Amino acid sequence: MSKVRRMSRIFANDGKSITLALDRYNFASDTDGIDRTIEILPELVESGLDTVLVTYGMAKTHEKQFQNVGLLIRADITSGIFDPSVPSTEGFVTVEDALRLGADGVISMTFPGAHNEVASHRIAWELARESDKWNMVFMCETLPYGYAVTTPESNKPEIIAASARVGTELGADIIKTRFSGEPGDAEIVKRAQRPVLALGGPKTDDQLQYFKFVRHCMDVGAKGVAVGRNIVQDPTPKRMVAALNHIVHNDGTAEEAFEIYQA
């Protein structure tokens, strides 16, 4: 299968994607809602979900649930699951492992600016090289300084943009990264020179404000969103996906999406 064909399973015909991140088990102990969400995944696909990002174990365990959706497998795992303040990962899953499970691509993180950034860059580069060999898609999640926004510097558009370009130069086909919410976020997309998915961010209970953030990301050029907790920990994941679908695929407003969410 060609890489173009695999990209078409991750992105809809309009070139955009709503990706559900279910890979939190590899990085944190706070995993509420993930197992419940997997059970209703076919309903989320009907609501507009395009792709799931999962762990190796999930891909083995829930093959039936993932039949009709794009599939990305997380290739790295944290080396400190109970201490997320330290950005440190190891690569475990290979491209061939992912191929055997029917995946369309693999993903790993890089931490530009962190003390151990070279180690994360090497994991990404090796995955990119092997992905090219097998025509698999490689998504690089570029997180300046660490997992979360810890300083004003780590949330500056120019810093995020420079980090995104690192992922591109390592060989990524898709970039997944945070957006600051500022007009300067357009530089992230410009510098990446790849389709960019905006990180869904921490769980929020202000859905209207969240939809405004997603609308902003699309307006500055993102090709979609990669959302975890704001879907899996939402009381109504199906309505959340439907609302995101209205923004991402129907070019709707945040206010319209909020009405869909409340319906």
What's the whole-number average pLDDT of the chain? 94
Q: Is the pLDDT of residue 196 over 90?
A: yes
3-state secondary structure the chain: CCHHHHHHHHCCCCCCEEEEECCHHHCCCCCCCHHHHHHCHHHHHHHCCCEEEECHHHHHHCCCCCCCCEEEEECEEECCCCCCCCCCEEECCCHHHHHHCCCCEEEEEECCCCCCHHHHHHHHHHHHHHHHHHCCEEEEEECCCCCCCCCHHHHCHHHHHHHHHHHHHCCCCEEEECCCCCHHHHHHHHHHCCCEEEECCCCCCCHHHHHHHHHHHHHCCCCEEEECHHHHCCCCHHHHHHHHHHHHCCCCCHHHHHHHHHC
Predicted model pTM? 0.95
Give the model's confidence band at 84: pLDDT under 50 very low, under 70 low, under 90 confident, else very high: low
Residue 117: pLDDT band with limits 50, 70, 90: very high
Q: What does the domain layout of the chain look like in residue ranges?
A: 3-262
C-beta pairs of 94-100 under 8 Å, 24+ apart in sequence: 94/130, 95/127, 95/130, 95/131, 95/133, 95/134, 95/136, 96/130, 96/134, 97/56, 97/73, 98/56, 98/59, 98/73, 98/136, 99/134, 99/136
Residue 247 has pLDDT above 70, yes or no: yes
pLDDT over threshold 90, residue 246: yes
Using CA atoms, how far residue 11 sits from 70, 128, 179, 189, 249, in Å, is 8, 19, 20, 17, 10
3-262 folds as TIM Barrel (3.20.20)
Res. 83: pLDDT tops 80: no
> How wide is the angle at C-alpha 10 spanned by C-alphas 5 and 11, nearest 5°?
90
Average of pLDDT values for 35-41?
96
- Condensed to tens digits (0 to 9), the pLDDT of residues 153-179 reads 778 999 999 999 999 999 999 999 999
* 174 or 77: which leads in pLDDT: 174
| Residue 115: Cβ within 10 Å count | 12
Give 89 or 129, the one with higher predicted confidence: 129
pLDDT range class, residue 25, cuts 50, 70, 90: confident
pLDDT number for residue 137: 99
- What pLDDT, on the 0 to 100 scale, is given for residue 19? 99
Q: Is the pLDDT of residue 75 over 80?
A: yes
- 85 pLDDT band, cuts 50/70/90, is low
- Of these ranges, 79-93, 144-158, 223-237, the one predicted with the greatest mean pLDDT is 223-237
Would you state the pLDDT for residue 203? Answer: 84
Asked whether the predicted pLDDT for residue 29 surpasses 80, the reply is no
Instruction: Report whether pLDDT(152) > 80.
Output: no
If one compares 148 and 44, the residue with the highest pLDDT of the two is 44
